[in-house]
Structure 1
Amino acid sequence: MERFFGLAARGTTVRREVLAGATTFLTMAYIIVVNPSILAQAGIDPGAAFVATCLAAAIGSALMGLLADYPIALAPGMGLNAYFAFSVVLGLGIPWQVALGAVFVSGLVFLAVSLLRLREWLINGIPLSLKFGIAAGIGFFLGLIGLKTMGLVVDHPATLVGLGRLGEPATLLACAGFLLIAGLSVRRVPGAMVIGILVTAASGIPFGLTQFQGVVSLPPSLAPTFLQMDIGGALSLGLTGIVFTFFLVDLLDNAGTLIATTHRAGLMRPDGTVPELGRALLADSGGAIIGASLGTSTTVSYIESAAGIQAGGRTGLTALTVAALFLLALFLAPLAASIPGFATAPALVFVACLMAQALRGLDWDDATDYVPAVITALAMPFTFSIATGIGLGFITHAVLKAAAGRARQVSGAVWLIAALSVVKFALQ
C-alpha cells in the first residue's frame, strides 16, 4: 500500500486513511436512503435502487482510489437524481428505462470528452459565475422538493404555492429533523445528516408514520433494474437535450468537486491545475456508466469527501475505505426501507442550504456576472427544470456580455450551449 498509494510522500498513514474514509462515508451515507426514495417516485423498484446505489458508490469510489489515487468518494449525485425522477420521468413522461439510457449515453459522452481532451475546453470555457449559478440552482431545486415532501410547501390555485398544514405530525417531525441536522452540523458532528434522518424516522414510530422493518438482511434483488436502460430510446432525437443536460451537469459537478477537494487536500499544483485530472474524470465517467447499468441516476464525485480530507485523508486508500463501507451497507436494506419520505426530506433542504453557498463567489458589482447566475438559480426551481435553468443562464450571459461590448469575453463553449438552448426553446 505504501508503494501503490505513496502514503509517506503525502504525509499520511494507513490508520489515518481508514479513519478519513469512515468520516467521508458517514457524511454521505444519507444517499443510501435518500436516493432510493427519490428514484422510487420515478417507478424504480426501491430495493433494487438501494442495491444499485450502494454498488455504484462502491465501484465509483474504488475507481477513483485506484485510477487517480485521490481521497474522493463517488455516489449517485443529489440534484441529478431529482432531475432524473421529477423533470425527465415525471415531468416529461419518459419511461425510467429510457432515462437510464440517457444517463448511460451521457456517461459515454463524458468518457469520450475525457479521452479526447475536450474537457479543458469545456471546463475552462464556462465562466465561474455560471458554475456558481448552476450549483446554487440545483440546490434550490432540491430545496423545493424537500419542502414539498415535508409538507411545508403545497400547491395553491391563486398563488401557485402556499404554506402547508403545520399541525400535521409528519410536517412537525420533519421540521424538527431539519433543525437537528442543522444543529449537529453547526457543532461539526460527523454523520449529522444520517443521525437526523434516523432520529426523525424513529420519532414517527409512535404516530404510526414509520413502519420499522428491521436492520440487517441479505441485499434485495438487483434484477428489476440491472441492464434495464433503454439506449435506443435515449438516442432518439427528442432526448438529445436530456442527454446533454446529464452530461453538462455531471461535468461541471465533478470539475467543481475535484478543484475544491484537491485544493483542500494540498494536491493542487501551484498554477491552479489539478494533477491526474484525466484519470479522475475517467473514474467519474466510468462510475456514471456503471451506475446506469446497475439502475441508478448519474454517479458523481461528492463534495462531502472534504470531511475525510479534513480528517487527514490524502490518498486513494481513503476512497477504497469508503467503497468497502458501501459494500457493507448492502446488508442494511430493511433499515433503509423503514425510512419514510418525511425523514429524508430535511436532508434535501439542508443540502440545498449548503449548495446555495456558491452564490457568494459572484461578483455582485458586475451585472454581466451575477444576473445570468441568478437567472440560472431562479429558473431551475420555478420551472422545475435544471435543463431550462442552464439554457436560460447561458443565453442571458451571452446576450449581456454582447450588450456591454464585451462579446470577446464569451467563450466558444458558452456560445455553443446558448445557441443550442435557443433552438431547443424554439422547438418546444
Structure 2
Amino acid sequence: MLEKVFHLSQNKTNIKTEVLAGFTTFMTMAYILIVNPGILGKTGMPVQAVFAATALASFIGTLIMALVANYPFGMAPGMGLNALFTYTICITMHFSWQTALAASFIEGIIFLLLNVFKVRQFIIDSVPQTLKYAISIGIGFFITFIGLQDAGIIVKSDGTLVTLANLKTPSVLLALIGVLLIAVLYNRGVKGSFIIGMIVIYVIGIIFGVAKAPAGILGAPPSVAPVFLKFDFSHAMTYKIIPVILSMLFVDIFDSIGTLIGLASKAGYLDKNGNVKNADKVLTADAVGSTLGACLGTSTPVAFVESASGIAEGGRTGLTGIVIAILFLLSIFFSPLLTAIPSFATGPVLIVLGAVMMEPIAKVDFSDFTEAFPVFITLILILLTYSITDGLAFGFVSYVVIKLFSGKVKEIPVALYVISFLFIIMFAIQ
C-alpha cells in the first residue's frame, strides 16, 4: 500500500529511510512547539490552547502536504509570520488577537485563490529579487531582536531606548550560554540542535533555581477551544488592516516559494528548466494548510526549511511527511513539559534563527546604491519600528523612487508602482 501511495521505489527510497528522515525533520522543527506559543501568548492568547493549535496545525498541514503533493516537507506556523501577527498587528497596531486571526484567515483565502487562478507567480515575478532578499533578511533581524529581549540580554533604557542587561544576572548568563551552545550544535550539523539547546539550558536553570521544574512530562492534551474559530471579522474588514494583510501575503508568498525551490532542489525535484515538479499541488497544499492554521487558532503555517535535514537523510516522499505529522500529533501529550520552558531558554533559538536567515545578504549588490539602499531601509525600519509592514512599505517605496530618479525606470516592474502607491495610501490614512 505504501509503495502504491508514495511510489517509494520510483523515488529510490524505502520505508526505513523515510521513517528515519521523518524523525530527523521533526527534531529540527520541534522547537516551534515551544517558541510559537511563547510569541503568540504575548497577545493575550492562552498559551496551552496555542500549543495545541500549533501541534494540530503542524499535523494537518504536513499531512496535507504528504498526501496531496507526496513531498517530504514538514509544515508548521512560520517564524516571521508569527512575529508579524504578535508584534505588528497586536502590539504595535493594537488590534486584538481575534482580529489578527481573522486577518490570517483572509490572507490564507487570498493565498489559496492566487494559487487557483495562477496569480501568485505573477506577483513573485513583479517584485525585484533584491526586495525578496530584504524580506528574509529583515525578518531575520527582527526575530533576533525579539530573541534578545525575550532572553533578557537587551533591556529598556530611558536614555538610549535599549541597552545591554546586567550580564551577572543568572538568567541572562544562561541565555548567552544557550546562544553559543545552539550556534555550535547547529554549525556542527547536530540534528535537533535548537530543541537540544533549549532543553539543556532549561535543565541547568532548574538545577540552579532559575527556572521551575515542569508539573509533569505527560498530560492530557490541552483544549484548542479557547482559540478555535475565534475570529473578529468586524475589525478585520476595516481599511487599516489591508496593509497588514498585504504584508502577510508578501511574507507568505516569498517565504513559501523560496523554501519550496530550495527544498525541491535538495530533493532532486527540479526539472530540466529549473522548475519544481508538481508545483501546483505543493503550493495548493501549502495554501490550504495556511487557511486551516488560522481556523485552529495560530498564525500561518508554512513549509519549514528545516525539512532539508530529513531530505539529507534520504527522505524523498510523503511517507516522511506522514511520520512528521504523527510526531506532531503525539507531541500534544507532552504539553506540561514543553510549555514550561522559560523565555531565557527559548530566546537563544530566535537569535540563532535570525543569523541563519542572514544568508541572502551576500546576494545583494551593495555596489549598486539603487539596490542597496532599499534593502538597508527595509532592514533598519523593520527593526526600529517593530513592524514588518512599515519596513516593507519604506523598502518598496524607496526602490521605486530611487530607481525612478536615477534613470533606471526600466528596472521598475509596473506592479511595483501599484504596490508602492498602496503603501503610501496606508501612511496617508493612518
TM range (shorter): over 0.9
Aligned residue for 1:141?
142
What's the counterpart of residue 209 of structure 1? 210
> Shift in Å at residue 205 of structure 1?
1.0
Aligned amino acid, residue 220 of structure 1: P
Aligned-residue offset at 1:56: 0.3
Residue 234 (structure 1) aligned with residue 236 (structure 2): yes
Q: Secondary structure in 2 aligned to 1:388? A: helix
CA distance in 2, matches of 1:249, 1:128: 14
SS class of match (2:162): strand
Cα displacement (A) at 1:403? 2.3
Q: Is the 8 A contact 1:105 1:231 kept in 2?
A: no
For residue 252 of structure 1, what is the amino acid of its counterpart?
F
Instruction: State how far apart, in whole Å, the 2-side matches of 1:4 and 1:223 are.
Output: 34
1:266-277 equivalences under 5 Å are 266-277=268-279
Shift of 1:365: 2.6
Aligned partner of 2:86 in structure 1 is 85
Q: 1:330 is matched with which residue? A: 332
Deviation string for 1:68-120 (max 9, x for gaps)?
A: 11111110011111111111111121111111000000000000100011011
1:374: how far off?
A: 2.2
Shift of 1:156: 1.8
CA distance in 1, matches of 2:179, 2:164: 17
For the residue of structure 2 that corresponds to 1:8, the secondary structure is coil
Unaligned segments of structure 2, at least 5 residues: none
Query: What is the distance in 2 between the residues matched to 1:208 and 1:97?
Result: 37
Report which stretch shifted further, 55-64 or 354-363.
354-363
The one-letter amino acid paired with 1:256 is G
* Superposition pairs of residues 379-398 of structure 1, within 5 angstroms: 379-398=381-400
CA contact (8 A) 1:98 1:231 kept: yes
Q: 1:424: how far off?
A: 0.9
Q: Give the one of 343, 346, 349 matched to 2:348.
A: 346
Post-superposition Cα deviations, 1:268-303, rounded to whole Å, max 9, x if no partner, equal 122122222222121111111111111101111111
Encode CA deviations 1:367-409: one digit per residue, 9 max, x unaligned. 2222212221221111100001111111111122222322122
| Equivalent runs, 1:118-157 vs 2, <5 Å | 118-157=119-158
> How many residue pairs end up in the alignment?
428
Q: 1:202-351 maps to which residues of 2 (within 5 A)?
A: 202-212=203-213, 213-351=215-353
Per-residue CA deviations over 1:310-361 (Å, capped at 9, x if unaligned) read: 1111112111211111011111100012101111000000100000112112
State the one-letter code of the partner of 1:46: V
- TM-score, with structure 2 as normaliser: 0.97
Question: Greater shift after overlay, 323-332 or 198-207?
Answer: 198-207
CA drift of 1:241 comes to 1.3
Q: Find the aligned partners of 2:125 and 2:330 in 1 and give their Cα distance.
A: 39
Contact 2:27-2:191 within 8 A present in 1 as well: yes
Q: Tell me the CA shift for residue 419 of structure 1.
A: 1.2
SS of the aligned residue for 2:207 comes to: coil
- Whole-angstrom CA distance in 2 between matches of 1:411 and 1:269: 27
CA distance in 2, matches of 1:367, 1:17: 47
Q: Give the corresponding residue for 1:11.
A: 12
What is residue 418 of structure 1 aligned with on the other side? 420
Counterparts of 2:395 and 2:317, CA distance in 1: 37
Query: Which position in structure 2 is the counterpart of 1:47?
Result: 48
Q: What does the per-residue CA deviation read over 1:23-60, in whole Å, with 9 as the maximum and x for residues that have no partner?
A: 11100100000111111111010110000000000111
Are the aligned partners of 1:234 and 1:243 in contact in 2 as well (CA < 8 Å)? no
2:306 is matched by which residue type in structure 1?
A: E
1:101–1:232 CA contact under 8 A, matched in 2: no
Q: Is 2:27 the partner of 1:23?
A: no
Question: Any idea what the Cα deviations from partners look like across 1:112-146, whole Å, max 9, x if unmatched?
Answer: 10001101101122122111111010010011111
The gaps in structure 1 that reach 5 residues or longer are none
- Structure 2 distance, partners of 1:41, 1:316, is 35
CA RMSD of aligned residues (A): 1.2
Identity over the aligned pairs, expressed in percent? 41
